[in-house]
Structure 1
Amino acid sequence: MKKLFRALLISAGVALVATGCASGPQYKDVASAIPTLAADHGRIYFYRSDSLGGGMIQPEIKLNDKVVGRSVPGGFFFLDEEPGDYTVSTSTEVTREVKFALHAGDTKYVQTSVSMGLLVGHVTPTLEDAETAEPEVETLKYTGTPMSTAAK
């Protein structure tokens, strides 16, 4: 009976951890479908590393106060936007934000990460450089709007 209970407990724990992770195609499976950036736009990648801590904390990500996605462990998505000033924010028990200017032809990378909070973890967006972000994004799953996976 103890073995059965232990097995059920382990299965429930694995299921709980799995529900916090991104589902969707791997980067390598959608890379060829990511469109070429238009000359008059910039691209913003949003991503979150796949970690065990804080998996159930998946707040909305807002770009200039408009919801554009969620901070999902192990996931990434991107948006193409016109040049301008942008604020990315996330909220749990506090609001955290990062501000930056986007120019035509730019690619920006916004990482969200979880830290301890009083009642619930805080998810903080930070601007990362391409050398750090690109290899990380390539290990993640696409959580944005569906794309055709046919090569472009």
Structure 2
Amino acid sequence: MKFKQIFAFSVASLLLAACSATGTAFSGLEKPAEGQSKLYVYRTKAFKGGGVHFDVNANDTYIGHLRNGGYISAELPPGDYEIWAKTEVRRGVTVPLQPNEIQCVKASIGFGAFVGRPKFQHVPLEQCKAEIAGTVHSF
């Protein structure tokens, strides 16, 4: 009986690991081009909701697919943007982007009826620098 439990746990772990981001390790925040804004959306690696991933949008513009332990970035014109994603429901946060500025949004997963729901939080740059360092580029 013990072998079956170990085998089941191993298979579940392998499946969850396959849902994690795979890509280039984060190497630092890059400044935007003159007059533009840079947005980073990241998700620290967590067991809760590890198999849930989603498309991230800035207003009506698709900016990338975010997985567990991953980050995406986009260079955008200055303005107010709703950063959002949808699984069961649409969730987002509004972020004001200023010229020549970097802004960060932390994503996580909340509970849903059938699948985890995306959660977004606009975070200070110092918090972002500390947390995004352990992520990889999400494809």
If the length of structure 2 is used for normalisation, what is the TM-score? Answer: 0.89
* Contact map agreement 2:44 2:131 (CA 8 A) in 1: yes
**% same residue:** 24
- The 2-side partners of 1:82 and 1:58 are apart by 26
Equivalent in 79, 85, 90 of residue 80 of structure 2: 85
RMSD over equivalenced CA pairs, Å: 1.7
Tell me the equivalent position of 1:20: 19
Find the aligned partners of 2:91 and 2:65 in 1 and give their Cα distance.
14
| Equivalent residues of 2:32, 2:101 under 8 A apart | no
* CA distance in 1: counterparts of 2:106 and 2:78, whole angstroms: 20
CA offsets, 1:45-71, max 9 Å, x none?
010010011111111111112221123
Secondary structure, aligned partner of 2:7: helix
Question: CA 1:100–1:10 in structure 2 vs 1: closer, same or farther (change >3 Å)?
Answer: closer
Change (3 A) 1:56 1:96: same
Instruction: Give the greater-gyration-radius structure (CA).
Output: 1
Cα displacement (A) at 1:10 = 2.8
- Is the Cα–Cα contact under 8 Å of residues 49 and 74 in structure 1 kept in the other structure? yes
Q: Show the counterpart of 2:136.
A: 141
Unaligned runs of 5+ in 1: 145-152
Aligned position for 1:70: 65
TM-score (norm 1): 0.82
- Please state which structure has a larger fraction of its residues in strand: 2
- Could you say what secondary structure the match of 2:4 adopts? helix
Report the residue type matching 2:55 in the other structure.
E
Q: What is the 5 A alignment of 1:2-151?
A: 2=1, 4-28=3-27, 31=28, 36-143=31-138
Write the letter of the residue equivalent to 1:126: Q
Structure 1 CA distance for aligned equivalents of residues 12 and 82 of structure 2 = 36
For 1:10, what is the secondary structure of its paired residue? helix
